[in-house]
Chain A
Amino acid sequence: DAKTTQPTSMDCAEGRAANLPCNHSTISGNEYVYWYRQIHSQGPQYIIHGLKNNETNEMASLIITEDRKSSTLILPHATLRDTAVYYCIVGTYNQGGKLIFGQGTELSVKP
């Protein structure tokens, strides 16, 4: 079973920041938080991952709460091309390395 809970859908205005929340209250100490997205019928695309600290790369920022029970993916300036299903996944290589996809958030970026 998926270990995360995400909103089913969200809307965001083009050019504004998109903040996608994720609850992972049962996360264990060595599990990472990964974010992937899937643009209609394409292969899932890696966005970012983190363990404890906040992370930022060229695509997004990941904010992880101090108790690690939830996180937020931030797309700072959403564009129409960011419309996709966003998946928050927790896991570690020691569990086999596979990613277990749960129900993600369908983000619609509107003009």
Chain B
Amino acid sequence: AAGVIQSPRHLIKEKRETATLKCYPIPRHDTVYWYQQGPGQDPQFLISFYEKMQSDKGSIPDRFSAQQFSDYHSELNMSSLELGDSALYFCASSFTLGQGGPSGANVLTFGAGSRLTVL
């Protein structure tokens, strides 16, 4: 079965540079979520999109932006990179069917992650 595809899997950048991570959700999934997981930390929610519109926002720095495109893939753009941005970035997708979903439950499928290292 198709899974959530993230690219690149590994990325090395210098401080103050810009990085872009891509996420291709499972076909027919309409919602995409981005999470950041620092070393030894639990995944932290950054932002989500439903049907190409931002649906929720978490602890995403102002230096970060994201969008979901017409083909439902999403990109997370990170500018003015700092050492503290070094982390695993996970994308997840779900099939929501609007408010409440078919049963109220919302199961997320995660990708393998993109590891960003800022030097």
Contact residues of A with B, CB < 8 Å?
30, 32, 34, 38, 41-46, 49, 51, 87, 91-94, 96-104
Given A93-B100, A99-B92, A99-B108, 4 more contacts at CB 8 Å? A43-B90, A87-B42, A91-B106, A97-B108
Q: Taking the nearest CB of chain A, how far is it from the CB of B3, in angstroms? A: 9
Q: B8-48 toward A: CB 8 Å interface, digit per residue (1/0)?
A: 00000000000000000000000101010000001111001
Known A44-B43, A97-B31; judge A92-B108 contact (CB<8 A).
no
State whether B96 touches A93 (Cβ < 8 A). Answer: yes
Q: B76-111 toward A: CB 8 Å interface, digit per residue (1/0)?
A: 000000000000101010101001110011111111
State whether B90 touches A44 (Cβ < 8 A). Answer: yes
A8 to B58, CA, bound (A): 25
State whether B56 touches A96 (Cβ < 8 A). Answer: yes
State whether B48 touches A98 (Cβ < 8 A). Answer: yes
Q: Taking the nearest CB of chain B, how far is it from the CB of A40, in angstroms? A: 11
User: How many chain B residues touch the partner (CB < 8 A)?
Assistant: 32
State whether A94 touches B107 (Cβ < 8 A). Answer: no
State whether B48 touches A43 (Cβ < 8 A). Answer: no
Known A96-B48, A97-B55, A100-B45; judge A43-B105 contact (CB<8 A).
no
Please indicate the chain B residues that have their CB under 8 angstroms from the CB of A92 in the complex: 104-106
Contact residues of B with A, CB < 8 Å?
4, 31, 33, 35, 42-45, 48, 50, 55-56, 58, 88, 90, 92, 94, 96, 99-101, 104-113, 115
Q: Taking the nearest CB of chain A, how far is it from the CB of B34, in angstroms? A: 10
Interface centre among B42, B58, B101, by most A CB within 10 Å? B42
Residue of A nearest to B88 (CB): A41
Q: Taking the nearest CB of chain B, how far is it from the CB of A50, in angstroms? A: 9
| Other-chain residue from B4, B106, B112 in contact with A93 (beta carbon distance below 8 A) | B106
Top 7 A-B pairs, shortest CB-CB distance: A43-B110, A96-B56, A93-B106, A97-B106, A101-B42, A101-B43, A93-B101
Q: Taking the nearest CB of chain A, how far is it from the CB of B84, in angstroms? A: 18
Between A and B, 25 residue pairs with Cβ closer than 8 Å are: A30-B104, A32-B104, A32-B105, A32-B106, A43-B110, A43-B112, A44-B43, A51-B105, A87-B42, A93-B106, A94-B100, A96-B55, A97-B31, A97-B33, A97-B48, A97-B50, A97-B94, A97-B101, A98-B45, A98-B48, A98-B56, A99-B92, A99-B108, A101-B35, A104-B42
